[in-house]
Amino acid sequence: MLERIKHNAVIAIGILTNTIHLAMPVLELFGAGTCGKYLLREFSRTHTTYWDAVPGDKVLADPETKKLVEQHYRKLYSNIAIPLLQFTGPELEQQTRFRGRPNAGYIFSEWALITKKQKANLKAFDVLAAGSEWNAQVIRNAGFPCYAVPQGVDCEIFKPQERKTHLNHFLIYSGGQYAHRKAQDLVIRSVKVLQDRHPDILLVASWFNIWKNEDGYEAARKAGVRIAGLPLLDHESLALHMNQTDVGLFPNRCEGWTNLMLMDYLACGRPVVANTSTGQADVLHDSYSIGIRGTDDELVEQMIVGVEKLYANRGLLGEMGTKAANAMQAWPWSRTAEGLWYAIGETGIQRN
């Protein structure tokens, strides 16, 4: 009871200040958790910030995040009179039963069409922001105003580093949860053709994640692909491995956001061959990426052509990579936090 009284007193004071309450995961080992971690850090720099856990958020990633959580943790006991920002769930529902003023939802949906149930769930929010322009347009088409607020990239971790290994190989990188929407099956198909033509090509993949799913590494080996499968890695180690490769393949069939692993890879100064049909389009440019789109067969053929272009013209790797790293400097996490705060302020519901 005493803790609840203290909490309510803090909220009452918070109405008079630049205050926000976050309800989101803060675990760097998957995309939404990475986003939550950096938003907690960025908002705490510029606002009075509170944080409450969401279902499934049981393990923290690093000492800095643990310290932030200890400093900002406040359990939600009731509706609050300050902005509450939370991720929408799988069915675009609230992650907590409590509301803020305004009640803001951050959407990472890969539905091209919004169902009646999802529309009903979205009505609980006063303001909506989505992780890409494509995703925001899907929500607008369903009849809801929605801001496009892409995520950021930590260029202090993901940055160009010296390549130290596999100097006699041409290394293709693929990352992300092994799933249909990430289209690693298309990566396997295209790399198999490329390896048959060029024996020095090797696939380096980081397809593990914290959820149990199909073993993509075994699928690649059964298809006859030579693959170096990475374990689950912290971001510093992942950046080191990314820097040892030449080009990334991201044929993702659908991305509701811009794809954090794509942005991380570009920030390491590496060019990509990537699908421009959904959220990834926000951060891609033909000066540092080869855009692809179409049917599965077309994506496979375009990946083969794109990789062979870079394979035959190694000078392009450095030129495009430098432009990629420079471009990602324009996407700091502070930009994401500022975009969300702007969206919250545009609701017409009082904030201070």
Nearest-5° angle of CA 158, CA 26, CA 14? 115
Distance CA 350, CA 352 (A): 7
**For the domain bounded by 170-328, which CATH number is listed?**
3.40.50.2000
129 pLDDT more than 90? yes
Q: For residue 64, name the pLDDT band (cuts at 50, 70, 90).
A: confident
Cβ contacts of 234 within 8 Å, gap of 6 or more: 28, 61, 62
Note the pLDDT tens digit of each residue in 153-178.
Answer: 999 999 999 887 656 899 999 999 89
Q: Are 147 and 339 in contact (CB under 8 A)?
A: yes
186 pLDDT more than 60? yes
Q: For residue 210, name the pLDDT band (cuts at 50, 70, 90).
A: low
3-state class percentages of the chain: helix first, strand second, coil last, to nearest 5: 40, 15, 45
Candidate from 59-63, 124-128, 293-297 with smallest mean pLDDT: 59-63
Closest residue by Cα to residue 333 from 17, 34, 21: 34
| Stronger pLDDT, 318 or 215, i.e. the higher one | 318
Report the pLDDT averaged over residues 16-45: 83
Architecture of domain 2-152+332-345: 3-Layer(aba) Sandwich (3.40)
* Structure confidence at residue 208 (pLDDT): 80
Collapsing DSSP to helix, strand or coil, 312 comes out as helix
* Structure confidence at residue 218 (pLDDT): 93
Displacement of CA 2 from its chain's centroid (Å): 39
110 pLDDT more than 50? yes
Evaluate the omega torsion of the peptide bond into residue 251 and state whether it is cis, within 30 degrees of 0.
no
Share of the chain above pLDDT 70, in %: 89
The full DSSP string for 85-126 is EEE--TTS--SSS---SSEEEEE----SS--HHHHHHHTT-S
* Structure confidence at residue 56 (pLDDT): 56
Residue 116: phi and psi, rounded to 5, are -60, -40
106 pLDDT more than 50? yes
Distance CA 92, CA 46 (A): 28
5 pLDDT more than 60? no
Note the pLDDT tens digit of each residue in 304-328.
Answer: 999 999 999 999 999 999 999 999 9
Residues of the chain with CATH 3.40.50.2000: 2-152+332-345, 170-328
* Structure confidence at residue 348 (pLDDT): 53
DSSP lists the bridge partners of residue 23 as 52, 86
* Structure confidence at residue 166 (pLDDT): 56
Evaluate the omega torsion of the peptide bond into residue 332 and state whether it is cis, within 30 degrees of 0.
no
The rounded mean pLDDT for the chain is 88
Could you tell me whether strands 272-275 and 289-292 are parallel, antiparallel, or unpaired per DSSP bridges? parallel
* Structure confidence at residue 306 (pLDDT): 98
* Structure confidence at residue 65 (pLDDT): 81
